Homo-oligomer: A and B are copies of this chain.
């Protein structure tokens, strides 16, 4: 199957915005993500509506983080991009008349729902502040005294 990478992508973009401080344009973010500016606008649109980021038009405009990183969890981001499906497998038929299939679906659904619940709970435990801290730890480990910018996409 083709795996959805929007969550991964949005988290990536948000952390870059946070590192930058100043507003970043869709084009800048798209370059960092090796994707298209419109894709950035699309995915960040949900986060703007949810109040996690702010967008400004015109000269000097672009995207900025609207909340402290410690106040945004991966779960928040997941919700803001529209809660895409988490499980790669599904039932063959939604409302099957066949009782065999109903028994199979019931067993699978139970397991999938448990796994989804666990996943969402884990997402809710991780804030962007923690991800940023992890990033800085990795940067410190890579070289002794770097500046931040030198080590982004280098």
**Interface residues, chain A, with chain B CB atoms under 8 Å away:** 1-9, 11-12, 15-16, 19, 32-33, 74, 84-92, 97-108, 110-112, 114-116, 118-119, 122-123, 126, 130-132, 134-135, 138-139, 142, 151-154
Which 4 pairs, one residue from A and one from B, show the smallest C-beta to C-beta distance?
A3-B90, A111-B122, A103-B134, A103-B135
CA distance A3 to B1 in the complex (A): 6
- Give, as a whole number of angstroms, the nearest-CB distance from A126 to chain B: 5
CA distance A87 to B3 in the complex (A): 8
Each complex incorporates copies of this chain amounting to 2
- Assess the A3–B88 pair: CB atoms within 8 A: yes
- Assess the B15–A108 pair: CB atoms within 8 A: no
8 A-B pairs in the complex with CB atoms less than 8 angstroms apart: A1-B88, A4-B88, A8-B91, A12-B98, A85-B88, A107-B131, A111-B119, A114-B118
- Assess the A9–B92 pair: CB atoms within 8 A: yes
- Give, as a whole number of angstroms, the nearest-CB distance from A89 to chain B: 5
- Assess the B134–A107 pair: CB atoms within 8 A: yes
